Amino acid sequence: MLAAIASLATGCKSEEYPEYQYQTRLVKQAFLNSEITVFKGKEIEIQGIGFVVGDKIVFRAEDGTEYTTEIVSVDDTSALFLAPEMPQGQYTIYIYRGEKMQKVAPVTVWLTLSLEVPEKEGYSLRGIVHVGQTGIAGVWVSDGVNFTQTDEQGFYWLQSDKRFGYVFISLPSGYLPATGNNAVPGFWKGVSIDPNLHEQCNFELKQANTTNHQVLFAADLHLSDRGIGQNAINDIKQFDQGFMTDSKNLATAYGQNTFLITLGDITWDAHWYKTGFMPASWVSKMKNYPMMIFNCMGNHDNNPYVRGDNNGSKIYRTTVAPTYYSFNLGEVHYIVLDNIEWINTNGSNGFVGERNYHERVDKVQLEWLKQDLAHIADKSTPIVICSHCQFHSNRNSSFKVQKHMTNTDEVLALLSGFANVHIMTGHAHYNMTMEINSNIIEHNVGAVCETWWQSSSASLLEGRGINRDGTPAGYAVFEFKGREHKWYYKSIGFDKSMQFRAYDMNNVMRERWTSYLSKQEPARDTAGDDYKDLDDNVIYINIWDYDSQWKIEVTEEGNSTPLTVTRVFDRDPLHTATTDVVLGKLGELIEEHASVRTAHMWMVKTKEDDTDLTIKVTNRFGEEFTQTLTGRGKRNKFDTATYFK
């Protein structure tokens, strides 16, 4: 018998529903996950502001049959109800209060396997991990604090105080979730907040050979749906025309086994309660995305109305994903961490706080991470750590890698025994590839939203914006074949082969805006006239994914001897022209949007101002990228449009 909760099931046919009208809204930001699993003893959390105990929740099937329950408890941003006994299938959710009604959303209801896992005293969570009717042994299960492992039947029992409101599995290699959708894969389940309630949470998987797979790492999407009103930034349009189109095309080219991992800031907290675009909006938008998504939380994904880390992340972790977890694809072990400790001074219901935070991995996570890594006996297993804030930075004039996060050393100490570790981060809106030591590389990935959607909105096309360091809007791509792997940065709207941009600085220095920018303080520092000390006939080369194993060779027409290439710490002239100048003339340039000096800029000086140049850049995998600069000396204008064709 399939187990479900017996509640106020009516099982009757309804008359045609009147459609929901905004003017009769009962609950603001009402949201229920589009996939829920129903089983005996299950409490379901529904998000929204304004629920009242006793509100009716109606599940309406496509044939008109209704199943009704009611709200049993509420808080400022959510409510709880007991799921009614009903068949598995598609439903539409409605809220009723007296004669008033509000439509919420469609939902898919999954029922548990026809197997009751026996309760054990002292274990508040139990369940089975299974494929079809067969349990899977040896799967690690966690609530974010404690771990247990499934037995030979696929059963698990977990002692949990349910402090985070969920339970999840570390997805084993060779399997993918069989439930959920691509925005919320079914490797985790929400649980009640009652540690004394014994709950059964099952995980259904499907077999999948992911030995060879690709992962797209997308950082800082900053979606807020502000595309209304004059001069508004239409971030959704830019995202759809840019990242969505580009990433879907890439996934089609790969054919199969392509996944997306976000690196935080999928939303923008400052706009949550202005536009209504919240974590639930992200789930709704991405549920039909062609790639399975594993999400990572950023600082802007916290609730700006509440103080404290656990409160701040509640909406995210009950809607999108646990704040930290692990999973396996092929021979690679992935770990998602939350290195934002939310403070939000002065935040309260109805009032956005200061949205301040610490950048560190807290003690509870460190202990969980220690246990998770202890389960990996083979220390040559590739480990990929995904987090929002960068662990390190090399944005300095000496190009030295420096620690950025408060307790970077504590995390690295836990990784010291592993031979092949990659740390994937975002937050900076800047691209940095940093070799930490012989076994660890950090990839701080440039933002999808580039300069918070400013550069693409100002002057560019189809989401082809540019980050503050000159890195195009884009994302990192890793290709795994077993344990062998390589990576590259994919610029949105461009072929994979575009790995650098070159600038004839003679043309840049002819622009009158170079001296004008020295007046743009405090957005820019006192060196606003960036290139006033440059010699004539200088070429800048911005190689955004550069690391020490890349090679750069520049030859001048008529001379086979390569020119001397020197690393410099300077601003990218294309970002300066498309963003600093445009916003500065409007009086809207702020420090957060202004160009920054980059550690991946290179310079060569040519003998003549009109010779052709050949630039060949070779990455650590032996792949060559070549560009020829022709027609030098024939222009007296820095033509930005040519860089976006």
For 123-149, how does the pLDDT look when each residue is reduced to its tens digit (9 = 90+)?
Answer: 999 999 999 889 999 999 999 999 999
Question: What whole-number distance in Å separates Cα of residue 96 and Cα of residue 55?
Answer: 6
Question: What whole-number distance in Å separates Cα of residue 402 and Cα of residue 436?
Answer: 9
Query: Exposed, middle or buried by CB within 10 Å (0-12, 13-18, 19+), for 23?
Result: exposed
Decide which of 632 and 427 is more confident: 427
95-109, 162-176, 285-299, 438-452: least confidently modelled range: 95-109
Last residue of a domain, one of 464, 491, 518: 491
Inside any domain, residue 2:
no
pLDDT beyond 70 at 309: yes
Confidence of residue 457 (pLDDT cuts 50, 70, 90): low
The predicted pLDDT at position 18 comes to 40
The residues near 585 (Cβ < 8 Å, ≥ 6 apart) are: none
Q: Specify whether 318 is located in the same domain as 337.
A: yes
Q: Specify whether 465 is located in the same domain as 366.
A: yes
CA dist list (Å): 535 to 296, 359, 460, 506, 604:
45, 41, 30, 9, 11
- 8 Å CB contact between 440 and 423: yes
pLDDT beyond 70 at 517: yes
- 8 Å CB contact between 160 and 197: no
The predicted pLDDT at position 40 comes to 52
Place of tokens 């409605």: 94
Q: Specify whether 572 is located in the same domain as 526.
A: yes
- Which range has highest mean pLDDT (33-37, 43-47, 189-193, 345-349)? 345-349
On average, the pLDDT of the chain sits at 89
Mean pLDDT of 77-98: 89
Inside any domain, residue 4:
no
Inside any domain, residue 623:
yes
Q: Specify whether 447 is located in the same domain as 339.
A: yes
Residue 534 backbone dihedrals phi, psi, to 5 degrees? -75, 145
Q: Specify whether 145 is located in the same domain as 88.
A: no
Strands 402-403 and 28-31: unpaired
Confidence of residue 39 (pLDDT cuts 50, 70, 90): low
Inside any domain, residue 118:
no
Residue 75 maps to which CATH number? Answer: 2.60.40.10
Residues of the domain holding 61: 12-111
Inside any domain, residue 409:
yes
The predicted pLDDT at position 637 comes to 79
Inside any domain, residue 7:
no
DSSP letters spanning 461-521? STT--B-TTSPBSEEEEEEEETTEEEEEEEETTS-TT---EEEEHHHHHTSTHHHHGGG-T
Q: Specify whether 481 is located in the same domain as 511.
A: no
Mean pLDDT of 483-493: 96
**Alpha-helical segments (H) within 473-618:** 505-509, 513-516, 573-575, 581-585
The predicted pLDDT at position 197 comes to 85
CA dist list (Å): 317 to 41, 106, 320, 606:
21, 20, 6, 55
Q: Across-strand partners of 620?
A: none
Inside any domain, residue 427:
yes
Q: Specify whether 345 is located in the same domain as 259.
A: yes
Residue 156 maps to which CATH number? Answer: 2.60.40.1120
Q: Specify whether 506 is located in the same domain as 596.
A: yes
The predicted pLDDT at position 632 comes to 82
Q: Specify whether 240 is located in the same domain as 385.
A: yes
Q: Specify whether 559 is located in the same domain as 509.
A: yes
Q: Is the peptide bond before 522 cis (omega within 30 degrees of 0)?
A: yes
**Domain count for the chain:** 4
Residue 218 maps to which CATH number? Answer: 3.60.21.10
- 8 Å CB contact between 269 and 315: no
Inside any domain, residue 1:
no
> Where are the extended beta strands (E) located within 366-415?
383-386, 392-393, 402-403
Last residue of a domain, one of 206, 224, 242: 206
Mean pLDDT of 54-68: 93
The predicted pLDDT at position 510 comes to 82
> Whole-model pTM above 0.85?
yes
Q: Using the Cα atoms of residue 56, residue 60, residue 66 and residue 69 in order, give the sign of their dihedral.
A: negative
The predicted pLDDT at position 230 comes to 45
Q: Specify whether 416 is located in the same domain as 537.
A: no
Q: Specify whether 153 is located in the same domain as 267.
A: no
Confidence of residue 9 (pLDDT cuts 50, 70, 90): very low
Tokens of 233: 């930034």
Last residue of a domain, one of 465, 491, 517: 491
For 568-620, how does the pLDDT look when each residue is reduced to its tens digit (9 = 90+)?
Answer: 999 999 999 988 888 888 888 899 999 999 999 999 999 888 899 999 999 99
Indicate the Cα dihedral angle 263, 264, 268, 269, nearest 10°: 180
For 160-216, how does the pLDDT look when each residue is reduced to its tens digit (9 = 90+)?
Answer: 999 999 999 999 999 999 988 999 999 999 988 888 888 888 999 999 999 999 999
Task: Determine what percent of the chain is predicted with pLDDT higher than 70.
Answer: 92
